[in-house]
Structure 1
Amino acid sequence: MLCQQCQKRPATVHFTKIVNNHKTELYLCEECARQKGDFKVFVPFSINDLLTGFLDMDKTTVHIESKGLPRCKACGMDFMQFRKIGRLGCQDCYRYFAEELTPVIKRVQGGTKHTGKVPRRAGIGLRLERQIQQLKAQLQKAIETEAFEEAARLRDQIRELERQLGQL
């Protein structure tokens, strides 16, 4: 897509402006975006800059430098290299950098456990665990309200699901 203003360069900036419930979208090249007076700040950034910015917000920087840099034994990447490029070297880096990454992941994603969709074929065990947790919450409510027949039914259902989970 070409810049909507100059019609010469590719549009790499997308502006959305909403005034009095009227939405205006502009697709501009970087040069035209800088010249546009309506927009106060134009600061290009990358995802790597965003990630390393989150890392810089963490108070562990002094801690890391004082005790020595953690290093992934699988790929050899150290934590400062990760901070510089914003990407981990391999899947084992998550384990070796867990202490430094956990607060960042919690801050960005709101937790460290996956809560999104699970693929049907691959996530049978995870779906069963989630279903068991939901049933346990229902069981607790049934016990609190003294609905003992419902509680017994839920208990049996939980046991059956736990048996299925054990067979996986």
Structure 2
Amino acid sequence: MICELCGKNQATTHVKSMVNGEYTEMWLCPHCAKEKGFDNLFAHTATDFSSFLGSFFGDGLPSRTSATRCKSCGSSFADIARSGKVGCADCYTNFYDELLPSIQKIHGNIQHTGKVVAGAGADLKLSREIEKTRQELAQAVKEQNFELAAKLRDKINDLEAGDNNAK
């Protein structure tokens, strides 16, 4: 297979990523993989996971004193950065400020957008539709497109009133 970036050399590195819910994959030659930082992704994991993520994404992870530990499991942020694994569910709360930028960069989103429990789908779909329309309304107002803003306002009112014909 030929490198998808330069189109010249034999591809040896297969890169898969998911950003903003969109799955992409690329085949790269050793030279292009090295240029993009995919030449040896796991070289630093044993010594310093923080610098690994920093080199991969262009900036380092926020630092926190090693004295700060999770009250539930005893993990420090340094432990999490070194191992790449969160100690327990409470670590997400305790180290929120440190973990959030990395989670956003890795996953492209910090809010789950996958499947939902059966029966909750209709309500969730309606609330997501209202939230999406509110964001569109804010953008329309920002762009001073008041005709569209009025239509979106009416659509939100109809959705909140339970009018299924508003779509």
TM-score, normalised via structure 2 length: 0.53
Q: Give the distance between the partners of 1:45 and 1:98, measured in 2 at CA.
A: 25
Matching residue of 1:12: none
- The 5 Å alignment of 1:115-130 reads 116-119=113-116, 121=118, 124=121, 125-130=123-128
Deviations 1:108-128, CA, capped at 9 Å, x for gaps: 3344333x3333527535433
- For the pair shown, the structure with the greater C-alpha radius of gyration is 1
Q: Give the distance between the partners of 1:152 and 1:139, measured in 2 at CA.
A: 10
TM-score, normalised via structure 1 length: 0.52
Q: Residue 155 of structure 1: SS of its match in structure 2?
A: helix
- Amino acid corresponding to residue 104 of structure 1 in structure 2: S
Residue from 34, 37, 40 that aligns with 1:43: 40
Structure 2: gaps spanning 5 or more residues: 14-28
User: Structure 1 residues 99 and 147, CA, compared in 2 at 3 Å: closer, same or farther?
Assistant: closer
Structure 1: gaps spanning 5 or more residues: 1-15, 28-37, 162-168
Deviations 1:58-91, CA, capped at 9 Å, x for gaps: 3632xx23xx532111111111211221101111
Q: Give the distance between the partners of 1:107 and 1:149, measured in 2 at CA.
A: 35
- Amino acid corresponding to residue 54 of structure 1 in structure 2: L
CA RMSD across the alignment: 4.3
The alignment status of 1:157 with 2:159, answered yes or no, reads: yes
Matching residue of 1:107: 105
Does structure 1 retain, via aligned residues, the 8 Å contact 2:3–2:10?
Answer: yes
Moved more, 51-60 or 82-91: 51-60
The alignment status of 1:18 with 2:3, answered yes or no, reads: yes
Aligned residues: 131
**Larger RCO (alpha carbons 8 Å, 6+ apart):** 2
Q: Give the distance between the partners of 1:102 and 1:150, measured in 2 at CA.
A: 32
Identical-pair percentage: 21
Matching residue of 1:58: 60
For residue 95 of structure 1, report the CA deviation from its aligned partner.
0.7
